[in-house]
Amino acid sequence: MEEARQYPTMRERVAELSRQRERMELSGGIKAIEKQHERGKLTARERVAKLLDPGSFTELNLWAKPTPTGFAEVDSREVIGDGVITGYGEINGRMVYIYAHDFVAGLGATQAAVQNWKVCRIMDAAVKMGVPYIGIVDSAGVRLHDAFGIAAGRGVSFGTDVWYAPAVASGVVPSITLLLGASYAGTAYSPMLADLFFMVRGESFMSLASPELLKEVTFHDVTHEEIGAAAMHAEISGSCDYLAESDEKCLEKCRELLGFLPSNCREKPPTVDNSDSPERRDEELLDIIPLIPGEAYDMHQVIWHIVDNHHFIELKKEYAPNIITALARLGGRPVGIVANNPANLSGVIDIAAAEKEARFIRFCDAYNVPLTFLVDTPGYLATLEEERRGLLRHVAMATFAICEATVPKITLYIGRCSHEAALAMSTREMGNEAAFAWPTAQLDLTETVYHAASTCLSIDDVIDPRDSRPVLVKALKIAEGKTESERPAKKQGNIPL
């Protein structure tokens, strides 16, 4: 009996486990957490808790420690989990994997060997299990001590896999990066490989080089805002798919967006029951289009009236606003909407619009989301500058993406559409299931809609604008079982990037 008392009891062991876990879950400690809150930012654990369903998170590799580097100033620091929280949980009852950089853990959540291993394990597991993965990024960049220290090149890989793993996962399972802080150098690469990239205004910053480094190289002063602010990436670089106003809004929109996507490429997006009748007809649709062809109007209004519950999520809203790319539902079924917007540049198709459209189409096709095109464009922006920058190649991207897509595709002609522009907005010859038109449509700019319907047979019906919703709902319903078996086998298409 005395000998047995030399060993801790199970209850004592469990109590010690609880104390250790509580300490580690505080990461860098109370003061570091308070400092994070003073910046107006949530901690990594708070972000994970808000993103996932309550009580659903299971953490993996909490006990992982950084690889020794040989640099005392780094090795003497305790960095819980090597600066990243990883695991799995549920969003609206559906499983997801997740990783979140833990800035308060110390060393700025810098990218290092063990951290990379944990992140790649999440991506690889998501592919094997057939579920989405989400990355919450907030990192000061690469931990150079780890990259060039005594363990560099041995055992756990320093960085290669964090570029390989997301590329392998692409098109297999949906992936979303939420940049809720900084992302520099090495940590700015792999997050961009996700399907969707969210940022927060005034909080997110992403660039390959810091302002200090750029000054050393170029001798010019630049600010963080100029080279990496969220607004810049949303409006100018086009890297940001959704610009949120806060951590909470960003996490909330991520939860919502996943509801439009399947868990993997082998499934169809989830259909939901809602209170919006598929037969709903809106009188306001009769008054949206100006009487004079070519006058500006906002295509968002048309989308608003047609989709379920007047609700949609627009992606890359601030970038190339002359074309709209959005996720919505029609009759409960998720649908990707590609629409010219005459309110911006008359809805003309330029380099940015074509690239934006092509990426969105390929994203929808990868995850079995049907496509609906709303058309009103005078054609391409064929200026000297656009031509020299590769307008033809970029327009070919959109055409290629449409022809490559095997999901159901439906086109609704609302206003103008030149013959050339039709190739960027999907036609019967490009694999459409159906094409409809309002009486205001002008195909090839001079051809009347009735000539297109009766002689050219390029549209299936001329419809009352008020019937747009029920017509599209029924067309998507009949096309739900679409299959394409006649295409030749190949590894992949070579899109003209």
Looking at every residue in the chain, the average pLDDT score rounds to 91
Question: Is there a domain that residue 274 lies in?
Answer: no
**Would you state the pLDDT for residue 226?**
86
Percent of residues, the chain, with pLDDT higher than 90: 68
Q: 358 or 146: which carries more pLDDT confidence?
A: 358
Model confidence at 36: pLDDT above 50: yes
User: Comparing C-alpha atoms, which of 465, 497, 41, 29 is closest to residue 248?
Assistant: 41
**Would you state the pLDDT for residue 456?**
74
What angle do helix axes 113-129 and 161-169 make, rounded to 10 degrees?
10
Q: Name 405's Cβ contacts closer than 8 Å, sequence gap at least 6.
A: 361, 362, 364, 365, 371, 431
| 223 and 317, same domain (yes or no) | no
* Containing structural domain, residue 129: 17-258
| 325 and 430, same domain (yes or no) | yes
Question: Is there a domain that residue 497 lies in?
Answer: no
Cβ neighbours around 60 below 10 Å, total: 18
Question: Is there a domain that residue 470 lies in?
Answer: yes
31 to each of 19, 45, 225, 343, how far by Cα in Å? 19, 15, 28, 50
Report the pLDDT averaged over residues 63-70.
Answer: 84
pLDDT (tens digit per residue) in 219-258 = 788 887 888 899 999 999 999 999 999 999 999 999 999 9
Question: Is there a domain that residue 452 lies in?
Answer: yes
| 227 and 308, same domain (yes or no) | no
Question: Is there a domain that residue 264 lies in?
Answer: no
**Would you state the pLDDT for residue 151?**
55
| 166 and 288, same domain (yes or no) | no
**Would you state the pLDDT for residue 72?**
76
Question: Is there a domain that residue 278 lies in?
Answer: no
| 202 and 337, same domain (yes or no) | no
Percent of residues, the chain, with pLDDT higher than 70: 96
Per the structure, the count of domains in the chain is 2
Question: Is there a domain that residue 265 lies in?
Answer: no
Q: How confident is the model at residue 212 (pLDDT cuts 50, 70, 90)?
A: confident
For residues 118 and 44, what is the distance between their CA atoms, to the nearest angstrom? 15
| 295 and 419, same domain (yes or no) | yes
User: Comparing C-alpha atoms, which of 346, 347, 447, 463 is closest to residue 410?
Assistant: 463
User: Comparing C-alpha atoms, which of 336, 344, 384 is closest to residue 360?
Assistant: 336
pLDDT (tens digit per residue) in 154-183 = 444 555 588 899 999 999 999 999 999 988
Report the pLDDT averaged over residues 11-40.
Answer: 92
**Would you state the pLDDT for residue 155?**
47
Question: Is there a domain that residue 322 lies in?
Answer: yes
| 244 and 307, same domain (yes or no) | no
Provide the sign of the torsion angle of the four alpha carbons 229, 232, 237, 239, taken in this order. Answer: positive
Least confident of 169-183, 328-342, 444-458: 444-458
Report the pLDDT averaged over residues 343-349.
Answer: 96
| 290 and 205, same domain (yes or no) | no
For residues 437 and 412, what is the distance between their CA atoms, to the nearest angstrom? 5
| 84 and 213, same domain (yes or no) | yes
| 155 and 304, same domain (yes or no) | no
Whichever domain contains 429, its CATH number is 3.90.226.10
pLDDT (tens digit per residue) in 363-411 = 999 999 999 999 999 999 989 999 999 999 999 999 999 999 999 999 9
Cβ atoms of residues 409 and 433 within 8 Å: yes
CA 125-85-182 angle, 5° bins: 110
Enter the pTM of the model. Answer: 0.93
| 250 and 147, same domain (yes or no) | yes
Provide the sign of the torsion angle of the four alpha carbons 484, 130, 262, 192, taken in this order. Answer: negative
| 175 and 51, same domain (yes or no) | yes
